A = this chain, B = another copy of it.
Amino acid sequence: MPLKPRPQPPPRPDAAGIRHRLHTIIFEADTFAGRLFDLALIGCILASVLVVMLDSVPSMQLRHGRLFLVLEWAFTLMFTLEYLLRLFCIGRPLRYALSFYGVVDLLSIVPTYLSLLLPGSQYLLTIRVLRILRIFRVMKLVQYVGEAEHLVRALRASGKKITVFLFAIGSLVIIFGSLIYLIEGEKAGFGNLFEACYYAIVTLSTVGYGDLTPQTPLGKAISALIMILGYSIIAVPTGIVSVELAQARKLKISTQVCPDCSAEGHDPDAAFCKYCGSRL
Contact = CB atoms under 8 A, between A and B. Distances in A.
Smallest CB-CB A-B distances: 7 pairs: A272-B277, A207-B208, A209-B210, A270-B274, A205-B231, A239-B241, A239-B242
A49 interface: yes
Each complex incorporates copies of this chain amounting to 4
Contact of A57 (B162, B192, B237): B192
A251 to B, nearest CB: 10
Interface string A161-179: 1111111011100110010
B242 A227 contact: no
12 contacts: A1-B160, A53-B197, A143-B160, A147-B163, A154-B239, A194-B217, A205-B206, A234-B238, A235-B238, A271-B275, A271-B276, A272-B276
A123 B183 CA distance: 9
A266 B277 CA distance: 13
Contact of A148 (B132, B154, B164): B164
Given A162-B232, A243-B245, 10 more contacts: A56-B193, A144-B164, A151-B161, A165-B232, A166-B228, A209-B209, A209-B213, A269-B275, A271-B276, A272-B272
A64 interface: no
Interface stretch (A12-20, A21-29, A133-141): A133-141
A213 to B, nearest CB: 4
A47 interface: no
Interface string A232-263: 10111111111111110100000000000000
A33 interface: no
A273 interface: yes
A157 B2 CA distance: 9
Interface of A, secondary structure class, is helix
B228 A191 contact: no
Contacts of A35: none
Interface of A: 1, 49, 52-53, 56-58, 123, 126, 129-130, 132-133, 135-136, 139, 143-144, 147-148, 150-151, 154-155, 157, 160-167, 169-171, 174-175, 178, 181-182, 191-195, 197-198, 201-211, 213, 217, 220-221, 223-224, 227-228, 230-232, 234-247, 249, 266-267, 269-279
Nearest to A264: B269
Nearest to A3: B160
B272 A192 contact: no
A31 B165 CA distance: 27
Contacts of A220: 194-195, 198
